[in-house]
């Protein structure tokens, strides 16, 4: 059986995701669609708006066959390590191809990769440049690509959109590590990644949908974007950072500067700034607003706060990275009949695909999930009660 993979968050699953799955069916000869999906915490350093089991169920009901968990230690990473974790899981699941959405399907990713390779020395040199120090890696790369190759270069063009940057991270991982996997770019439809508008006839962005779902009164056009909205209760879709604010505040107050320094990504003396700003903040949103600057972006700060909340240390991540590209175990979140048959073909592989969530070997992930569950009492169930979604 041939498998095409997707790396996704489905936060929440919407019309655009359904379109992508349909296009994979039309454009590839894949028998099975395998999704490496973020668990309860996602790449921007946020709790997922709905738990991983419900999101896996929605994906299965809309055409996916097998949902595998992208663990928190991968799903909450910046772009390149997020890609490494996702590609690693799809490779372990023997996917022959990966599909991802882009704004411009005309961009040549092979040429963009070659341009990126050419610029490696320059990128490292410019890190010491005072003007470049305050910029994020993506901003530096965009600027250097424009200076080196001009505005028409594939690398510069793909860096204009966040989805294309993420897709390029997958391509870099495949080419750099000689992963035997093809890639398929699928043109995105409708609103851009950060567009906050929702219109009935368009494909709304995940950003827009999350903002609307967290409001007391919902935009009627949500029903066109989320066909399953009627299924959820009135208390669902209220999961956001503010619910965790007091717990985060407690963690920061009780931890010494030395203890905070052990937290993953706690660099550049930011631990002192966290301690200094904390008494001034009256909410999580206010806290990040007071902290952020050019160097420390909103997403970077959210990820750092999540690492503090979950107690993720530098040593823990360093050990995890040793097997991020070749995972020993992968948790199965759900499957349909095709997915079940495909799972059987993976039994002889080195990676173990876990279908029993009570398995003690995933204790670390369960500890992270417990925090998510406890902070959401309306949706809380003991971890022992969970099992893969079966369609």
* Residue 11 labeled ligand binder: yes
Q: Domains plus CATH for the chain?
A: 3-104+163-238+326-390 (3.40.50.620), 109-160 (no CATH), 241-316 (no CATH)
Q: Is 91 annotated as a binding residue?
A: no
Contacts of 340 (CB under 8 A, 6+ apart): 390
336 is in an annotated binding site: no
Q: Is the pLDDT of residue 108 over 60?
A: yes
Q: What pLDDT, on a 0 to 100 scale, did the predictor assign at position 230?
A: 46
Report the C-alpha gap between 163 and 82 in whole angstroms.
13
Integer Rg of the chain from CA: 21
Task: State yes or no: 189 annotated in a binding site.
Answer: no
Check residue 295 and give its pLDDT: 83
Q: Which tokens in the block code for residue 78?
A: 């910046």
pLDDT tens-digit profile of 154-213? 999 999 998 899 999 999 999 999 999 999 999 988 655 455 454 544 566 666 665 666
Q: Is 5 annotated as a binding residue?
A: no
237-to-17, 175, 212, 214 alpha-carbon distances in Å? 18, 38, 10, 6
CA dihedral sign of residues 158, 161, 167, 169: positive
7 annotated as belonging to a binding site for a ligand? yes
374 pLDDT above the threshold of 90: no
Residue 293 assigned to a binding site: no
User: Is 19 assigned a ligand-binding role in the annotation?
Assistant: yes
Closest by CA to 38, choosing from 14, 56, 21, is 56
Please tell me whether 20 is known to bind a ligand: yes
- Is 17 marked as a binding-site residue? yes
> Which tokens hold the place of 232?
């959820």
Please state, in angstroms and rounded to a whole number, the distance separating the CA atoms of residues 168 and 80. 9
Is this model's pTM higher than 0.75 or not?
A: yes
54 is in an annotated binding site: no
pLDDT, one tens digit per residue, over 230-276 is 444 444 456 789 999 999 999 999 999 999 999 999 999 999 999 99
pLDDT value of residue 218? 56
Closest CA to 206 of 191, 221, 219, 216: 191
Q: Is 13 annotated as a binding residue?
A: yes
Average pLDDT, whole number, for the chain?
A: 88
Per-residue pLDDT reduced to its tens digit, 323-363: 999 999 999 999 999 999 999 999 888 899 999 887 777 89
Q: What is the pLDDT of residue 383?
A: 46
Average pLDDT of the segment spanning 309-315: 98
18 is in an annotated binding site: yes
**114-155 pLDDT, tens per residue?**
999 999 888 877 666 656 667 888 888 999 999 999 999 999
**Which tens digits make up the pLDDT trace of 7-20?**
999 998 988 999 99
The answer to the question of whether 15 is labelled as a binding residue is yes
């Amino acid at each position: 059986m041939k498998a095409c993979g997707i790396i996704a968050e489905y936060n929440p699953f919407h019309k655009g995701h359904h379109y992508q799955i349909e296009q994979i069916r039309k454009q590839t000869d894949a028998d099975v669609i395998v999704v490496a999906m973020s668990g309860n915490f996602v790449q921007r350093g946020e709790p997922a708006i709905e738990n991983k089991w419900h999101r896996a169920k929605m994906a299965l009901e809309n055409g996916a066959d097998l949902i595998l968990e992208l663990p928190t230690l991968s799903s909450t990473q910046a772009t390149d390590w997020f890609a490494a974790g996702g590609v690693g899981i799809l490779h372990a699941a023997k996917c022959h191809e990966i599909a991802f959405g882009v704004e411009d399907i005309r961009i040549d990713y092979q040429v963009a990769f070659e341009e990126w390779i050419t610029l490696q020395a320059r990128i490292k040199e410019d890190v010491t440049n005072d003007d470049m120090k305050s910029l994020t890696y993506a901003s530096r790369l965009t600027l250097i690509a424009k200076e080196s190759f001009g505005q028409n270069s594939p690398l510069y063009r793909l860096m204009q959109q966040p989805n294309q940057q993420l897709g390029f991270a997958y391509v870099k991982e495949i080419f750099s590590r000689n992963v035997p996997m093809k890639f398929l770019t699928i043109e995105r439809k409708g609103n851009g990644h950060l567009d906050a508008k929702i219109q009935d006839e368009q494909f709304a962005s995940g950003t827009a949908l999350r903002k609307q779902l967290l409001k007391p009164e919902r935009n009627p056009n949500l029903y066109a974007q989320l066909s399953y909205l009627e299924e959820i209760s009135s208390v669902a879709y209220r999961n956001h950072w503010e619910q965790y604010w007091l717990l985060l505040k407690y963690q920061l107050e009780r931890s010494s500067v030395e203890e905070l320094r052990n937290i993953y990504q706690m660099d550049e003396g930011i631990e002192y700034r966290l301690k200094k700003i904390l008494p001034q903040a009256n909410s999580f949103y206010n806290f990040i607003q007071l902290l952020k600057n050019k160097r420390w972006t909103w997403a970077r700060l959210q990820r750092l706060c999540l690492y503090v909340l979950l107690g993720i240390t530098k040593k823990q991540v360093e050990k995890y990275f040793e097997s991020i590209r070749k995972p020993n175990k992968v948790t199965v979140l759900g499957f349909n009949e095709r997915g079940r048959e495909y799972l059987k073909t993976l039994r002889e592989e080195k990676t173990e695909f876990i279908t029993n969530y009570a398995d003690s070997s995933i204790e670390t992930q369960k500890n992270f999930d417990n925090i998510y569950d406890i902070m959401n009492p309306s949706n809380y169930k003991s971890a022992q009660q969970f099992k893969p979604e079966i369609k």
